[in-house]
């Protein structure tokens, strides 16, 4: 009887231990199967076709990087997955489902970096993206993803870089983006976003790069002076205006080309000591051209063409010695 009780206690301890410490081998097997499933769903990349269901994760982690596939592993877990296509060629299988594809990615729970570029992915980005809780970098550019930018991205509390360029996303720039505590790079270029920028963006103090060019955004740009880490701001080809936005002092690149700005440029740039590139071309700015723009402390590129600025140019004007490109037409 004592032996039976002892064995029962031992069995209970084993069960408790296994429940608290899930098998790493099982997790690694799941990751291997996930990679094979990804290849099946995309019919790509070819580098994965040489593996079978008997392959283990160590085999996958030894794959040499190619232009179409890069894998990185740490302690037997996949931490980076880069799949780069060729403008959707070969085409996705006819029964491709974005819902099923992104749900499959959840089988890679240690993934920190995910790039799915130029694969022809289409449809709304599914809610399952929010389950990739370890993600730090997400790049799904140059696809056909549509619908609004999903709220479930706000669940990714470690996200530092979000790149959704060259898709078909619609709706407004989400206000919840400001809730991502470490977001440093936000790029939503070449989509179909519309409406005003949320004022909550001005509280994203970790932001270093903000690119929203080639959308249908309009109205006043929020006061961005509190974004003390912002270095790149690209709002090209939208409908922002009419007032020049208030800018943080550490900006290095400012592109406002092809918008509806008209007012406030003359007093806006005095504190931008690190500004190297300034492009405000193809707007409707009025008032005097200030020669001081040519001698901004760090300026290398200046394009103010296509405005209604007035004034004279003199031979003895002072220019920054690093200024390599100027367009004043």
Alpha-carbon gap, residue 97 to 94, rounded angstroms: 9
- Check residue 228 and give its pLDDT: 95
Alpha-carbon gap, residue 322 to 103, rounded angstroms: 51
Question: Does residue 125 contact residue 147 with C-beta atoms inside 8 Å?
Answer: yes
Per-residue pLDDT of 63-100, as tens digits, reads 999 999 999 999 999 999 999 998 777 788 888 999 99
- Check residue 20 and give its pLDDT: 43
Cis check for the bond before 242: say yes or no (omega within 30 of 0). yes
Q: Which single residue is written with the structure tokens 């400012």?
A: 254
Question: Does residue 309 contact residue 289 with C-beta atoms inside 8 Å?
Answer: yes
Alpha-carbon gap, residue 145 to 169, rounded angstroms: 6
Structural domains in the chain?
21-255+267-277 (3.80.10.10)
Q: Which residues contact 264 (CB under 8 A, 6 or more apart)?
A: 243, 244
- Provide the residue-wise pLDDT of the chain in tens; the chain has 329 residues: 444 444 444 444 433 333 444 556 556 778 989 999 999 999 999 888 887 776 777 888 889 999 999 999 999 999 999 999 987 777 888 889 999 999 999 999 999 999 999 999 999 999 999 999 999 999 999 999 999 999 999 999 999 999 999 999 999 999 999 999 999 999 999 999 999 999 999 999 999 999 999 999 999 999 999 999 999 999 999 999 999 999 999 999 999 999 999 999 988 888 889 999 999 999 999 999 988 899 999 999 999 999 999 988 877 788 999 999 999 98
Alpha-carbon gap, residue 282 to 329, rounded angstroms: 10
Alpha-carbon gap, residue 38 to 183, rounded angstroms: 28
- Check residue 3 and give its pLDDT: 44
The region that residue 311 occupies, defined by phi over 0 for left and psi between -120 and 50 for alpha, beta otherwise, is: left
Other C-beta atoms within 10 Å of 184: how many? Answer: 19
Phi, psi of 52 (to 5 degrees): -130, 180
- Taking the complete model, does pTM exceed 0.85, yes or no? yes
Structure tokens at 233: 């701001």
Half-sphere exposure for 154 (CA within 13 Å, toward CB) = 10
């Amino acid at each position: 009887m004592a032996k039976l009780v002892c064995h029962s206690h031992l069995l209970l301890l084993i069960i408790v231990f296994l429940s608290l410490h899930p098998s790493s081998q099982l997790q690694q097997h799941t990751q291997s199967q996930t990679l094979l499933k990804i290849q099946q769903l995309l019919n790509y990349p070819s580098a994965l076709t040489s593996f079978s269901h008997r392959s283990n994760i160590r085999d996958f982690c030894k794959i040499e990087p190619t232009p179409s596939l890069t894998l990185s592993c740490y302690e037997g877990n996949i931490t980076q997955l880069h799949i780069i296509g060729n403008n959707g060629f070969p085409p996705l299988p006819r029964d491709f489902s974005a819902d099923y594809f992104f749900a499959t990615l959840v089988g890679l729970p240690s993934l920190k970096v995910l790039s799915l570029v130029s694969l022809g992915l289409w449809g709304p980005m599914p809610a399952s993206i929010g389950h990739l809780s370890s993600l730090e970098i997400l790049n799904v550019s140059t696809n056909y993803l549509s619908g609004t930018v999903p709220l479930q991205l706000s669940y990714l509390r470690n996200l530092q870089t979000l790149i959704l360029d060259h898709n078909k996303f619609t709706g407004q720039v989400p206000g919840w983006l400001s809730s991502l505590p470490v977001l440093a790079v936000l790029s939503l270029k070449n989509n179909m976003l519309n409406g005003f920028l949320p004022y909550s963006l001005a509280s994203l103090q970790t932001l270093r790069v903000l690119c929203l060019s080639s959308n249908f955004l309009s109205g006043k740009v929020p006061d961005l002076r509190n974004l003390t880490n912002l270095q790149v701001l690209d709002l090209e080809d939208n409908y922002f205006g009419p007032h020049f936005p208030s800018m943080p002092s550490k900006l290095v690149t400012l592109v406002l080309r092809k918008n509806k700005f008209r007012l406030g440029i003359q007093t806006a740039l005095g504190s931008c000591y690190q500004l190297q590139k300034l492009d405000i071309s193809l707007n409707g700015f009025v008032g005097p051209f200030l020669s001081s723009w040519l001698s901004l402390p760090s300026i290398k590129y200046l394009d103010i063409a296509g405005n209604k600025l007035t004034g004279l140019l003199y031979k003895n004007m002072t220019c920054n010695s690093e200024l390599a490109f100027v367009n004043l037409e």
